[in-house]
Structure 1
Amino acid sequence: MTLKATKFTPEVLLSAPRRSAAAPNPSGTQALFTVSTYSFESHKKVSQIRVLDISSGQSKVLIEDLSSSEPTWLTDDEFLYLKGGEHGSTSLLVGSASRPDSVPYEVASVKAGVSNVKIKKLDSSAIAFACTILATPDGEISNPETEEKPYSSAKVYTGLFVRHWDTWLTESRNSIWYAALEKRDGKYSFSGEGLINALVGTKLECPVAPFGGTGDFDIGPSGLVFVAKDPELNPALYTKTDLYFIPLTSFTETAPPSPKIVATPGLEGYTNSPTFSHSGNKVAFTRMRSKQYESDKPRLLLLPDLGNLDKTEEFYKTDDGEGGWDYRPESITWSVDDSSLFVTAEKFARTLIFSLPANPADAKVPEHVRTTDGSVGDVRQLADGSPKLFVSSSSLVDNSCYSVVDPSHGTAAVVSSNSKQGKTFGLSRSNCTDITFKGDGDYDVHALVMRPSNHDPKKKYPLCFLIHGGPQGAWGDGWSTRWNPAIFAEQGYVVVSPNPTGSTGYGMSLQNGIKGNWGGRPYNDLVKCFEYIEKEMPFVDTDRGVALGASYGGYMINWIQGHPLGRKFKALVCHDGVFSTLNQWSTEELFFPIHDFEGTIYENREGYARWDPAQFVNEWATPQLIIHSELDYRLPITEGLSPFNILQSKGIPSKLLMFPDENHWVLKPENSLVWHREVLGWINHYAGVGEDSDETDALTKSIDRLMSE
């Protein structure tokens, strides 16, 4: 039975089951994943570890426990997972997929938080294990929950990075820990002395905060590869992360060898996605060129021989250093025979899989592999020895889809769709389309369009104009629980999500055009988009239009407010936006304004002042909702308070929504529900969109039935 929402509301969005990427077992018959659900009736979250039968698409519950996470296959049936305990401790447990009622047993207990588990089978009896745990400066396990608390709350710093994202920094750092798992008397346990800190005494940190995870390191039969910030450069000013190799043979070495750096001449930026070949003697990875540009194009690289770390080969290398492939490779998966690479990259609002030879000398500009609708989030080999891929993806109408992709035959078969490809939410691909229009120059700009599910071609619908953040980012054909176009469309809007200058996935020329030009080309592109909608989309009522944006999108809302386009909208919404570019040095990652504003504020103050929304406050006139959070250290809350004070002082209808316990994003379900209600209430009032009293439906009332399917 397929449940169907009578209307896709914020409650439906936020209470729908959220599935992780799924990981198939060695034979490719089953896949592990986690799913969490929040109930606004009980105000509680439920979390499960489930196993999917790949042939039937049916799944069953293995573990139901909020503190359990990260299931990882050990064999075709046995899986290891983490269970959080008291005082920040973690247990490593082993369960059985075929015997979900059996009692899991403990492999080890760690008196700290454990995350980012990876395993690699070494031989018939041993499995290499790696994870990340916070470490003290002397290399011991760190647990903030059990550390002795000082009598004073004072924090004293003598150098940059004092805080990052939503955390004031301490001396403890992320570190990789390794061990070997062996099976004795039918049960797994750690060999030798157990977990060993691979980075002890190195000043290196991995994963790289705040968003690093399993993609920052990999384990193979010959050791560990990982990325870490250059300890000699200030992390607030530079993006430089290097690739390192630690040779390990048994993963029981109590004194790990010193990490050896991998040479990448001419490339000094972020390094990402190190991935061992199946043979274990090669590593593919990406690296950016600039050491102060967080959104530079990643270059795809190959380390062809772990015995020679001074020789790496770049795919699509050109004499001018720009590279012969204009897209941005992200994750990497080796083909079963190590002859090819499957690389994900963003292209025209979708994240696709591209196939290319694993030898850079043979690589031509790659073609994408056929997948299901939407954007790819995770790619894995379906089974040991299989050429097929198991892909986790999402789209504008489907929040989670698992499929089997056969690159050699160009086929993609859906195994399981969490929302029955949108039907559960009452959404359809037929309501999703796109437009292309001329930008502020000789280039095209692309935008996604979503209409209401009950769209009547004879009617006109008010415009909902969404502006993305980044600014080097893009709206994509993928699911979001924070900025979901369908939520706005189902209120009765036509949603247009443009990807103007600065957007990723359309080539580096369009992306890099925003440098030193924040309120120039991007703003003009948005004006061109609005004019296109007025002229070419007669079913859109631009006279009742509203515009919303977050982060850089919030900056653009403030910029629009002071310019002619601002008078075209009935109301504006600014979430965690920039009020004044002269305040950019209150952020934490200073390399960001240094790059985008072409220098430091003391070297190029004019470059910062040129695109400052605050200098145009005399022109502000449109009703505006301001949203900001106190834990947003990327854009401090004064960037929200200042424009609100201006709006109020000028007598412009305005409202401030503040969250004391959120960062740059609103993540807590109850807070997110308030966010949606305030935002929709604001724009609906000014756009004249009627309220629908049907705030509950079959999905929210029967979420347990949906999860049991």
Structure 2
Amino acid sequence: MRIAHFRCPDFHMQTALVRRLSLLLMLLIVAPVAAAAGNAKRPITAQDLWSFKRVGAPAISPDGKKVVVSVQEWSIEKNKSTASLWLVDTASGKLRRLTHGNSNDGSATWSHDGTRIAFVAVRGSDTTAGLYVIPVDGGEAERVLELPYGVSSPRWLPGDAALIVGTKVIPELAGTLDKASLAAMGKEAARRKGAKMTAYATEVQQFRWFDRNLTDNLANRLLRFDLASKTLTDLTPAQKRLFMHSGEVSFDLAPDGRQLALVIDSAPAPFVTVPNLDIYLVPTDGKGGMKNLTTDNPRIDAAPRFAPDGKSLLFTRQVLPAAPGSGELSRLWRYTFGDGTTTPMTAQVDLSIDGIAFSDEGGALWLQAEEQGHVPVFALEAAGAGLKKIVADGTNTGLDSASGRLVFLNENSNRAAELFTLDPGSSTPRQLTRFNEALFAQLDLGKVESHTFQGAAGDTVQLWLTYPPGYDPKKKYPLLQLLHGGPQTMVRDAFGYRWNPHVFASPGYIVGWVNRHGSTGFGEAFAMSMNGAWGDKPMEDILKANAYLFDKVPAIDRDNVAAAGASYGGYLATWMLGHTDAFKTLVNHAGVSDFIGQYGSDVTTALFSAEVMGGQPWANTEGMQRNNPIAYAKNFKTPMLITHGEKDYRVPYGQSLALYGILQNMGVPSRLVVFPDENHWILLPQNSIYWNYEVQSWLARYIGGKPMAKPEFAAAE
């Protein structure tokens, strides 16, 4: 009997086959792991905040087919920014970079025929901001105008042969703005800049604004600039001071270009009364005088917008005899040119109007207004009826429209601002740009939730809650309460670059941000409810928010709770320093700690009225001192970090020096960090990163967490 035998393959072939199969199996196992590792997200850092491209307010072309935006980028190494203009196709979202270079290009405006864009920039050898014009279809930008104190706010006149621009002048040297007058101003401006004697003197109350002195006695002017002849026509030759102390130039051009509406503060020197912003009608041919359209209101009239037919003018108005920023709503009004009457349009609407854009025919308009922690886009009939929410989510700003199309910026807590549009006839927003999508794809941003709870006086109070990256509900996390400033502002569903809750959460904190009493967006009564008692209801809201969150989120470590605030938020931190021991530590950036010292602020008349503060040093001193945090120094014991910029004129940094001195003398653990070249805000990249390091390191001392490493920066070249 024959037995059949099976013959094995060659041993070496067999071994090679096994190796190949093993390798293939290993690749199948490892490849997904490697891909997952390559796609692994990481917590956001303070450095990341300076890597985002920051999209500016859009300007839509007359036919509605294109939008131009200024996109700002920052260099941490160079500690400065650049900004370029980008064109966006509204149908496809296709992008084209319009300008390049090491400059900051902004304030873009379209010519009426849609072929050119004018913008403002400091380029090359420019010593001040110049006016540039660039063809939309290609070509180099041309500087068409330079002035001793720069150019701002350009707008094309119909026909595109001339533009309206803003500037500043030395009134006694301005003359007719001929070549000799401009040369004389340029010479004097250079002399002032290089002067070794640096003293300044004043006899008026309002002599500073934010981080600069106003004692140079400059005046704003609006000019007509003819492109062909290069001639200038001064439209406001009688103006001897700034239009507003901020230096802002706010105007709108009539559809036929024959006149413009300009905002000017009519309050007389020495500016110890509240501002009286009025709207003036100004001819654009330089003939005839200005006419004040709002003499009936001694308070705030602002944000003028001509109706498309030119027969009326919309604007916002505040009428109460109270300081600006005390919580009164800005309501929408209409001025009718035919009979000269002013009519309220949103008197029954409990919203403060921040932005206006008309539909193409003017039969309807879009509005921007804060509401319940969001900033929706609303639609309103031109007659003032039928208010309807169109875009509800996130924060929507920078409204502009043409040919029935609306464009705007939209952002939320987990995404920086990008350009969106509402197509004609549509109520569904469509995203056009994604400048930061790749960076956000790398980041592990914690969940953000909106909560409401019962606060002071039984009122419903809203808060935003941000969880740390990699949140595990089975673990315990310290709670950090952020205290927003203003005081009458709102914590929005928005992505902040200065106080970013995700960066605060990155060491492993749960972060709350309460829209406490005094916040806007929740009705006028709620916003004004803190006046005369700045600390009472807001502190009660924060403490009740703690209790609510302890119950709602068991992962919160109730033994490790801190609070941090800036400006009014710093006031509230100092108020709590003297009234509660509920926090392991407090952080106070640029906060008001002493009402007496705050009389050195640039906006004393705008904020420190008896109605708001409860009293004044010369009248009802007891009422004022009741609300003064420093009056409760005997109770100070909670450790506090204090930070401030020396160029802060809004809350003079002496406030922080005095508070720090008191804490040191009392033996209360405290640390002072001063930034010599910063104002009320920490705005430079390296300073901002270092500020976050100081804050995280201080918090980690008292409530734990993993703070960022100390940043190192290369020495300046």
Partner of 2:601: 587
Letter in 2 for 1:273: A
Q: 1:680 to 1:691 in 2, by over 3 A?
A: closer
**Does residue 368 of structure 1 match 2:368?**
no
Paired with 1:233 and 1:220, the residues of 2 have a C-alpha distance of: 35
Letter in 1 for 2:137: S
CA contact (8 A) 1:218 1:274 kept: no
Q: 1:195 to 1:352 in 2, by over 3 A?
A: farther
Partner of 1:703: none
Partner of 2:132: 93
Partner of 1:627: 643
Paired with 2:438 and 2:370, the residues of 1 have a C-alpha distance of: 21
Paired with 2:427 and 2:164, the residues of 1 have a C-alpha distance of: 35
1:165 alignment partner, one of 194, 210, 219: 210
Give 1:609 shift: 0.2
Partner of 2:419: 402
**Does residue 618 of structure 1 match 2:634?**
yes
Give 1:392 shift: 1.2
1:462 alignment partner, one of 478, 481, 484: 478
CA contact (8 A) 2:299 2:319 kept: yes
Give 1:233 shift: 5.6
CA contact (8 A) 2:52 2:439 kept: no
**Does residue 282 of structure 1 match 2:312?**
yes
Q: 1:57 to 1:598 in 2, by over 3 A?
A: same
Partner of 1:568: 582
CA contact (8 A) 1:647 1:653 kept: yes
Q: 1:195 to 1:180 in 2, by over 3 A?
A: closer
Which secondary structure state, in structure 2, belongs to the residue aligned with residue 57 of structure 1?
Answer: coil
**Does residue 412 of structure 1 match 2:429?**
yes
Paired with 1:441 and 1:43, the residues of 2 have a C-alpha distance of: 47
Paired with 1:273 and 1:84, the residues of 2 have a C-alpha distance of: 27
Paired with 1:508 and 1:311, the residues of 2 have a C-alpha distance of: 26
Letter in 2 for 1:304: T
Partner of 1:331: 355
Letter in 2 for 1:110: L
Q: 1:237 to 1:64 in 2, by over 3 A?
A: same
Partner of 1:154: 199
1:445 alignment partner, one of 444, 461, 469: 461
Letter in 2 for 1:313: T
Partner of 1:263: 294
Give 1:406 shift: 4.3
Partner of 2:374: 350
Partner of 1:18: 54
Task: Identify which range, 60-69 or 583-592, moves more after superposition.
Answer: 60-69
TM-score (norm 2): 0.86
1:602-617 residue pairs with structure 2 within 5 A?
602-617=618-633
Paired with 1:43 and 1:495, the residues of 2 have a C-alpha distance of: 29
Q: 1:507 to 1:570 in 2, by over 3 A?
A: same
Give 1:668 shift: 1.2
* 1:683-702 CA-partner distances (Å, limit 9, x unpaired): 12322102466999xxxxxx
Give 1:48 shift: 2.1
Partner of 2:35: none
Letter in 2 for 1:555: Y
Q: 1:461 to 1:264 in 2, by over 3 A?
A: farther
Aligned length: 657
**Does residue 115 of structure 1 match 2:152?**
yes
Letter in 2 for 1:76: G
Paired with 2:246 and 2:61, the residues of 1 have a C-alpha distance of: 30
Which secondary structure state, in structure 1, belongs to the residue aligned with residue 298 of structure 2?
Answer: coil
Which secondary structure state, in structure 2, belongs to the residue aligned with residue 673 of structure 1?
Answer: helix
Which secondary structure state, in structure 2, belongs to the residue aligned with residue 417 of structure 1?
Answer: coil
Letter in 1 for 2:220: S
Partner of 1:73: 110
Q: 1:180 to 1:166 in 2, by over 3 A?
A: closer
2:222 alignment partner, one of 156, 173, 177: 177
Task: Identify which range, 528-537 or 543-552, moves more after superposition.
Answer: 528-537
Paired with 2:298 and 2:649, the residues of 1 have a C-alpha distance of: 26
Paired with 1:118 and 1:155, the residues of 2 have a C-alpha distance of: 35
1:207-606 residue pairs with structure 2 within 5 A?
208-210=244-246, 212-213=248-249, 215-221=250-256, 222-232=258-268, 234-248=270-284, 253=285, 255-263=286-294, 265=296, 267-295=297-325, 296-305=328-337, 307-308=338-339, 310-316=340-346, 323-360=347-384, 363-364=385-386, 366-370=387-391, 373-381=393-401, 383=402, 386-406=403-423, 408-420=425-437, 423-424=440-441, 426=443, 431-564=447-580, 567-591=581-605, 592-594=607-609, 595-598=611-614, 600-606=616-622
Paired with 1:475 and 1:78, the residues of 2 have a C-alpha distance of: 38
Q: 1:375 to 1:421 in 2, by over 3 A?
A: farther
Letter in 1 for 2:76: F
Give 1:358 shift: 1.5
Partner of 2:3: none
Which secondary structure state, in structure 2, belongs to the residue aligned with residue 473 of structure 1?
Answer: coil
Q: Radius of gyration: which is bigger?
A: 2
Structure 2 residues without counterparts, runs of 5 or longer: 1-37, 175-181, 713-717
CA contact (8 A) 2:218 2:242 kept: yes
Letter in 1 for 2:203: T
CA contact (8 A) 1:582 1:609 kept: no
Give 1:171 shift: 4.6
CA contact (8 A) 1:80 1:94 kept: yes
2:167 alignment partner, one of 133, 142, 145: 133
CA contact (8 A) 2:219 2:239 kept: no
Paired with 1:78 and 1:87, the residues of 2 have a C-alpha distance of: 22
Letter in 2 for 1:130: I
Paired with 2:376 and 2:173, the residues of 1 have a C-alpha distance of: 40
Q: 1:424 to 1:200 in 2, by over 3 A?
A: farther
Paired with 1:190 and 1:438, the residues of 2 have a C-alpha distance of: 65
Which secondary structure state, in structure 1, belongs to the residue aligned with residue 105 of structure 2?
Answer: strand
Which secondary structure state, in structure 2, belongs to the residue aligned with residue 581 of structure 1?
Answer: coil
Which secondary structure state, in structure 2, belongs to the residue aligned with residue 146 of structure 1?
Answer: helix
Q: 1:658 to 1:287 in 2, by over 3 A?
A: same
Give 1:682 shift: 1.2
Q: 1:468 to 1:425 in 2, by over 3 A?
A: farther
Which secondary structure state, in structure 2, belongs to the residue aligned with residue 559 of structure 1?
Answer: helix
CA contact (8 A) 2:304 2:316 kept: yes
Query: RMSD between aligned alpha carbons?
Result: 2.7
Q: 1:289 to 1:78 in 2, by over 3 A?
A: same
Paired with 1:172 and 1:119, the residues of 2 have a C-alpha distance of: 29
Paired with 1:692 and 1:641, the residues of 2 have a C-alpha distance of: 27
1:44-83 residue pairs with structure 2 within 5 A?
45-70=81-106, 71-74=108-111, 75-83=113-121
CA contact (8 A) 2:693 2:708 kept: no
Paired with 2:708 and 2:151, the residues of 1 have a C-alpha distance of: 45
* 1:140-165 CA-partner distances (Å, limit 9, x unpaired): 26557424455532222222222222
Partner of 1:186: none
**Does residue 682 of structure 1 match 2:698?**
yes
Paired with 1:422 and 1:356, the residues of 2 have a C-alpha distance of: 37
User: Which structure ranks higher in relative contact order (CA pairs < 8 Å, sequence separation ≥ 6)?
Assistant: 1
Which secondary structure state, in structure 2, belongs to the residue aligned with residue 410 of structure 1?
Answer: coil
Which secondary structure state, in structure 2, belongs to the residue aligned with residue 549 of structure 1?
Answer: strand
Paired with 1:585 and 1:44, the residues of 2 have a C-alpha distance of: 33
Q: 1:43 to 1:442 in 2, by over 3 A?
A: closer
Q: 1:415 to 1:87 in 2, by over 3 A?
A: closer
Which secondary structure state, in structure 2, belongs to the residue aligned with residue 535 of structure 1?
Answer: helix
Q: 1:247 to 1:588 in 2, by over 3 A?
A: same
Paired with 2:477 and 2:424, the residues of 1 have a C-alpha distance of: 41
CA contact (8 A) 1:398 1:418 kept: no
